[in-house]
């Protein structure tokens, strides 16, 4: 076994990607992060190497995984700081929110692979992602915080805006759709594909007096339409898919008091953000 602080050096480095970021959150010198990470690698017979901006572990990590499980239970049950991260489109909503007992990560993930890996390996303790594309994993509990319709948005000078409430899917299919982040929304992407929204008529964009970027159709929700800026509006058409925010935690902590407290804080925060949004439903505490 290794002491909590030593394993923290390895975990925070792998989680936050840089020794400087890890040292900043742990309030220590970067040299200590480096020493602790090297010590853990030596003790557990594993090796970290960076590939595609993420730290990957090689070697048999079974002993390390067992140690992480013990340390995680100790953190949860002894009021030590827990670790929360989320997808990049949630950063503006949740990253500024003060949460007692929780440390927040970078909130800059696009795909789900890395944060899901960190959660299953006990490196982080909770993760915010989106329904309906959140993982269906027997080791992880999914706690839905809110639900809202998936919407299509365009700039207010877009030709579709002039059609008003008479706009149809056939009208929309003529224009390019903003691509979704790779591997982030496979279910939503499949719905859009089934509606034929992943193709468009090149002649429409080439013959338009507007630049292509003004003709692209975005995908949003009432909670995050503001990310596109004040010059965007929602098209008055209903899509057959609902999105929402989901908190993922290891199943063994789904009923933990600290999970209930966190979920309550997140839902209270969403109620403040959702003021005046009639189509956003906040789920009740279970």
pLDDT at res. 53: 87
Scan for tokens 């500024």, then name that residue: 96
Task: Give the dihedral sign, CA 176/180/181/182.
Answer: negative
For residue 28, which phi and psi values (nearest 5 degrees)?
-145, 180
Split at pLDDT 50, 70, 90, the class of 203 is confident
pLDDT at res. 199: 83
How many other CB atoms are found less than 10 A from the CB of residue 126?
24
- φ/ψ region of 276 (left if φ > 0, alpha if ψ in -120 to 50, else beta) reads left
pLDDT in tens, 113-151: 999 999 999 999 999 999 999 999 999 999 999 999 999
Partner residues linked to 58 by β-bridges:
47
User: Tokens standing for 246?
Assistant: 């989901």
pLDDT in tens, 47-71: 999 888 899 999 999 999 999 999 9
């Amino acid at each position: 076994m290794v002491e909590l602080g030593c394993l923290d050096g390895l975990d925070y480095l792998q989680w936050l990607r840089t020794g400087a970021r890890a040292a900043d959150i742990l309030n220590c010198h970067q040299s200590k992060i480096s020493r602790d990470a090297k010590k853990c690698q030596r003790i557990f017979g594993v090796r970290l190497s960076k590939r595609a901006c993420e730290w990957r572990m090689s070697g048999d990590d079974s002993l390390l995984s067992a140690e992480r499980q013990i340390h995680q239970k100790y953190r949860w049950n002894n009021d030590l700081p827990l670790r929360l991260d989320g997808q990049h489109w949630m950063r503006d909503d949740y990253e500024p929110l003060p949460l007692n007992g929780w440390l927040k990560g970078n909130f800059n993930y696009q795909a789900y692979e890395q944060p899901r890996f960190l959660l299953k390996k006990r490196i982080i303790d909770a993760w915010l992602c989106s329904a309906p594309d959140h993982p269906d994993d027997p080791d992880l509990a999914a706690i839905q915080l809110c639900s809202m319709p998936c919407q299509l948005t365009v700039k207010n000078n877009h030709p579709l805006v002039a059609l008003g409430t008479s706009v149809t899917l056939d009208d929309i299919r003529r224009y390019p759709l903003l691509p979704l982040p790779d591997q982030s929304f496979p279910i939503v992407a499949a719905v859009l594909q089934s509606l034929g929204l992943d193709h468009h008529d090149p002649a429409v964009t080439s013959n338009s007096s507007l630049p292509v970027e003004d003709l692209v159709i975005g995908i949003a929700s009432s909670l995050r339409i503001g990310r596109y800026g004040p010059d965007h509006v929602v098209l008055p058409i209903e899509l057959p898919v609902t999105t929402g925010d989901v908190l993922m935690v290891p199943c063994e902590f789904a009923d933990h008091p600290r999970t209930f407290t966190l979920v309550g804080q997140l839902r209270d925060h969403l109620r403040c953000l959702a003021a005046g949004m009639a189509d956003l439903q906040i789920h009740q505490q279970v």
